[in-house]
Amino acid sequence: MIVYHGSNVVVDKPDVEHSFRPLDFGKGFYVTTVREQAVRWAHRKIDILKDGNLKPILNVYDMDDVPAALAVKTFPDDLEEWIDFVCKCRDGFLEYAQYDVIMGKVANDKVFRVVDMYHSGIWDMPRALKEIKAYPTYDQIAFITQKAIDAVLKYKGCEEV
């Protein structure tokens, strides 16, 4: 399967060391199967850094099947479990660290607002779930450990987007 990582640099040797804060699924190296999503993230990163010399880069990888020896957490359709897990990760809980790979939805710009409304207690779970279901599905795969990256990802190349 082909997966993508949007950035402002070429990432030909992905690692977990450069993850500086917990995201939806904790600290790790994140990829997606959705090219458009990675391209958007690459452009967003350039906007955040506000450096006109940087270029948006789409890194492309082959992702092999995850070996059974690795601990994998998936969130296929259970949005209640997903939203609670994302909130815990953003609060700094380390529950995610028991896994090598975590797969599920991504809190894109619109979904991020829903998570924030739920997390802050403004919306209850039924309201948050109703809102999330209205948005397109993007995905993310978080590699939490280096052994998972080394076992599964193979760099194919990159392009400026």
Strands 57-63 and 72-74, sheet pairing: unpaired
Separation between Cα atoms, residue 69 and residue 147, nearest integer Å? 11
**Domain extent at residue 54:** 2-160
CB 18 within 8 A of CB 8: no
Total structural domains within the chain: 1
Separation between Cα atoms, residue 100 and residue 122, nearest integer Å? 33
pTM above 0.85, yes or no: yes
- Residues paired with 20 in a beta bridge: none
Separation between Cα atoms, residue 43 and residue 3, nearest integer Å? 17
| Tens place of pLDDT per residue across the chain (161 aa) | 999 999 999 999 999 988 867 678 999 999 999 999 999 999 988 988 888 889 999 999 999 999 999 999 998 776 788 888 888 887 888 999 999 999 988 765 666 777 788 888 899 888 888 777 655 667 899 999 999 999 999 999 999 99
Tokens of 29: 């190296």
